A and B are shown apart, each in its own frame.
Chain A
């Protein structure tokens, strides 16, 4: 069953328009790499961010990267730095960036010690709130759902808080607004800590 799921998600994450059906160009990771040189200042040379409140993009699902850029471009997701950058991107550039970042090795995180009570609390909250159902068995993401494992803790916490206040809206069916509706700030800290310290 794991297999089926992963295949499905891969099929979506690695969405490349086939020549058989359309004249559009396939996503070009090499072109994406060139374009991404401009992103490295904040998101890190290899897509692993050392910048506070700025996410690592390495190993994020192709579709997730694309959706967020489209949200920034259309103004659904507001950020004064990313808004103008995304406005200048065309569809093909967005596809290329998705392909490039998805091809990079995800950040290595420090594994939390087994006795870490905050991570343990996060783990049980993750089960209670069904995080795996969209973010994958190992929280490596898939399709429009982000990779969470190993993401910066400050980024994860800000994302949860933004979903809760409505500052950010998710891709599908408002699931994230909904999940965070029931979470206290302590809960969100635990979840962010758990995901950030996952390998």
Chain B
């Protein structure tokens, strides 16, 4: 612990010196003074937003929050008319009133569990579908911090808190009164910034989970900036990937069993740089470059520290700057046209650290199982209105039993259903 704090603190001195040298104007810019011990006993919860630059001054995550009174079913349905999809596809409202909807997971009996992040104050909700009519239940109402990451397997609901993964047995039969959870894993750092998670089961019942650094850009404290593979049955874990910034989306390739994940690149380097990434873990322990190298070919102006980008694994695909790719899934259904099989659908939450918003859409990625020939096209777009404001912010997708695709939108507190018919 001690070594880690000292190491991190010396990095912080370097950052502070850099900022100091960059001129008197910086005193008007928001910056974090990490050059003291107290900072490291409790890095600020909003440190993920990072030090401001003149170019992007005034951009702030808070600006992208939905209005307080949220939206009615009618308002959300009216906005869906703005969404563009390829021919033959349609989008409809599946459920509204799912406050702050983040990662989704299917129960065995068809209950859709939905995690939340900032606004729903630690709740997990469930969308119950009875004969086509949906109702919303808050199944966990307190005691959790930023439970964005959830998963379901063999009757049990798994929920990631900042530093614990909980298991709620027999969850679907007890929606009104979940049993007390067991802690199945707790070897995770306590940092709030980038402490929210996304959980992905592989076929053997191990979970993939990424642990983000508590900062925008820094020398990551030990045990952050990595993806782990965790066996919730006994707490065993291995490190799958290193050099990873904030990753809140991933899936297992049905063709190979390999893990793929989205990664949000650092902020404040420019309106259009560096690109967010889609990564493919081809071998255990690969390093994807953070904080030294971004998008596979941009050395960090401060944190390259002598490293070359060629030392690190490049992304399978550069998804573009500030797109905020979050939840992703391989399309494994059979309702969509045949060429969608095993494509990746990525939910892009959209930017905050950019003067003009971009993202706020679903992308369709086609890529070979070995990571070659990656290409993307827009699948669903239109969540940024003609006036440049958000109409919605998709952040997760999940394939339904009938092959349709559900989409979570935390801006509208809504779940959509995208279906295809000839």
- Chain A interface residues toward B at CB < 8 A: 1-2, 4-6, 8-9, 11-12, 15, 17-18, 20-24, 63, 66-67, 69-70, 76, 91, 94-95, 127-128, 130, 132-134, 137, 142-145, 169, 171-175, 177-179, 181-182
Contacts and interface: CB of A to CB of B under 8 A. Distances in A.
Nearest to B78: A22
A172 B118 contact: yes
Interface string B121-135: 100000000000000
A-B pairs with the 8 shortest C-beta distances? Answer: A5-B58, A66-B68, A133-B30, A91-B69, A22-B75, A67-B68, A22-B78, A70-B68
A164 B55 CA distance: 33
Contacts, number: 109
Interface string B158-176: 0000000000000000000
B74 interface: yes
B75 A17 contact: yes
Contacts of B61: 172-173
20 contacts: A1-B58, A4-B355, A8-B59, A12-B65, A18-B387, A21-B81, A23-B75, A70-B68, A130-B31, A133-B60, A137-B28, A142-B63, A143-B63, A172-B118, A173-B62, A178-B45, A178-B46, A179-B44, A181-B42, A182-B38
Contacts of B68: 63, 66-67, 69-70, 94, 144
A190 B81 CA distance: 51
B88 interface: no
Contacts of B81: 21
A34 to B, nearest CB: 19
Contact of A21 (B57, B65, B385): B385
Given A8-B63, A94-B68, A173-B61, A21 B30 contact: no
B46 A9 contact: no
A133 B45 contact: no
A1 B54 contact: yes
A130 B45 CA distance: 13
A174 B79 contact: no
B10 interface: no
A94 B391 CA distance: 20
Nearest to A92: B69
Given A5-B58, A24-B75, A133-B30, 17 more contacts: A8-B59, A11-B389, A12-B63, A15-B67, A21-B78, A21-B79, A21-B385, A21-B391, A22-B79, A63-B67, A66-B67, A94-B68, A127-B27, A130-B32, A133-B60, A144-B62, A182-B38
Given A94-B68, A173-B118, A9 B63 contact: yes
B65 A143 contact: yes
Contact of A94 (B46, B57, B69): B69
B368 interface: no
B236 interface: no
A174 B45 contact: yes
Nearest to A169: B121
B62 A134 contact: yes
A174 B251 CA distance: 30
A107 B118 CA distance: 32
Contact of B44 (A12, A21, A144, A178): A178
Contact of A24 (B45, B65, B74): B74
A140 to B, nearest CB: 13
A142 B69 CA distance: 17
B187 interface: no
B92 interface: no
